[in-house]
Copies of this chain bind each other. A is one copy, B any other.
Amino acid sequence: MEFEESGIGEECGVFGCVAAGEWPTQLEVAQVLSLGLVALQHRGQESAGIVTSNGACLPIYTSHKGMGLVSTAFPPEALLKLRYGNLGICHTRYSTTGISELQNCQPFVVDTLHGRIAVAHNGELVNSRALRKKVMRHGVGLSTGSDSELITQLLALTPPMEELDTPDWVARIKNLMSETPTSYSLLIMYKDVIYAVRDPYGNRPLCIGRVVPISRLHSSGAGEEDTEGWVVSSESCSFQSIGAKYYREVLPGEIVQISRHGVKSLSVVPRPEGDLPAFCIFEYVYFARPDSIFEGQMVYTVRQRCGRQLAIEAPTDVDLVSTVPESATPAALGYAQQSGLPYTEVLCKNRYVGRTFIQPNTRLRQLGVAKKFGVLTDNFAGKRVVLIDDSIVRGNTISPIIKLLREAGATELQISDVSCSS
């Protein structure tokens, strides 16, 4: 089942790009950034923003933000104004707070004593309440409720405020990490570099790609001398559409500096002794796009394997295996393969229901999810069905679907939740 009804977690996408070599290069950074956002759109559809820098000593930052999908938020003239960027970061946002305003749209850009920084953030701070208090006690007014503004102000005020000409951003980032252990994947743009940061628990994903000539994209021998640019992204699924090769993950606790000269690991901040990494399980279960790779595994494969495991742990005596379209489909196929039961579609989804203004009256409200899912009656009438789901933990959609399928003739319905499988 898909994310849109979920209230779990803050699902956002971050993406960054630096053109490699002598600037300006042939690489159109603004285009790469916008295509990267489109590829991460499943992580957030509320708003989108891009900030580019020309990377000069006195850098010129250009930013554009807008509500809605990338396609709505970025009309041609917006991309035009970003075209002189040699590096940039961007963000696509899914709001968990329900406050949908341009003001909350990332990346945040602020002027600090040492110049302007731009920050894009995916995650939720465990101690945000205490941190807000701390920042405000220092005398900072916070203009949004967002963790991302909080992180930005923490980076700005991190003591000791150096009186040196060159600020020590690594020290500042480490200080931030000492203030808040999890969860965040961060991109921080400062002049001509991007710092890519993952919290010590590695809760949210972040990985690096290398932009190569299209002709070398599928040759295994492409060396670093081919590199046209570097990209950093919440998910590797974005690399394919911009012509980048998967390079590596940012490690839990790692601070990576990405510049036109390449990728450099600056530090890896350790977890408290005894603590384990805590990669967000929901990334595997339904946040991520199935073609993304986390920890060396394709997400689709993990989902499918969970379905197989479920078939072993929770076998059922039914006629067919199905699912609610569409994030649990790999798990359902895995369950079918393992159990030997036929995989059969029982519902088709109306993709246009999303944002309709129609407020149905009582009569129509009773029809529940019927607006959203069409019933493929002939496929299951008179049969016993096991429905593989990935989101019972949210539990807000499955019961009307059960009702819908029962009324359409399923003689027996079992629900098996892959997110509860071990």
Contact B161–A140 (Cβ < 8 Å)? no
Contact B300–A352 (Cβ < 8 Å)? no
Q: Which of B31, B353, B367 is A360 in contact with, Cβ under 8 Å?
A: B31
Smallest CB–CB gap between A66 and chain B, Å? 10
CB neighbours of A139 from chain B (8 A):
113, 138, 140, 156-159, 161
A166 interfacial by beta-carbon distance below 8 Å: no
Contact A214–B367 (Cβ < 8 Å)? yes
CB-CB under 8 A for A290 and B39, given A152-B141, A155-B141, A364-B31: no
Provide the bound-state CA to CA distance between A371 and B355, in Å. 24
Chain B residue at smallest Cβ distance from A409: B218
Smallest CB–CB gap between A402 and chain B, Å? 14
A314 interfacial by beta-carbon distance below 8 Å: no
Contact A41–B350 (Cβ < 8 Å)? yes
Determine, out of A254-262, A375-383, A389-397, the stretch whose residues face the partner at the interface: A375-383
This chain's copy number in the assembly: 4
Q: Which of B27, B34, B298 is A377 in contact with, Cβ under 8 Å?
A: B298
Determine, out of A189-197, A237-245, A267-275, the stretch whose residues face the partner at the interface: A237-245
CB neighbours of A132 from chain B (8 A):
111
Q: Which residues between 186 and 240 of chain A lie within 8 Å of chain B, taking CB atoms?
A: 214, 217-218, 237, 240
Number of interface residues of A (CB under 8 A): 96
A35 interfacial by beta-carbon distance below 8 Å: yes
CB neighbours of A69 from chain B (8 A):
352
Smallest CB–CB gap between A371 and chain B, Å? 4
Contact B358–A110 (Cβ < 8 Å)? no
Chain A: residues with CB nearer than 8 A to chain B? 26-28, 31-32, 34-35, 38-39, 41-42, 45, 69-71, 74-76, 79, 102-103, 108-113, 117, 132-133, 136-143, 145, 152-153, 155-159, 161, 214, 217-218, 237, 240-243, 289-291, 298, 300-301, 329-330, 333, 337, 342-345, 348, 350-361, 363-364, 366-367, 370-371, 374-379, 407-408
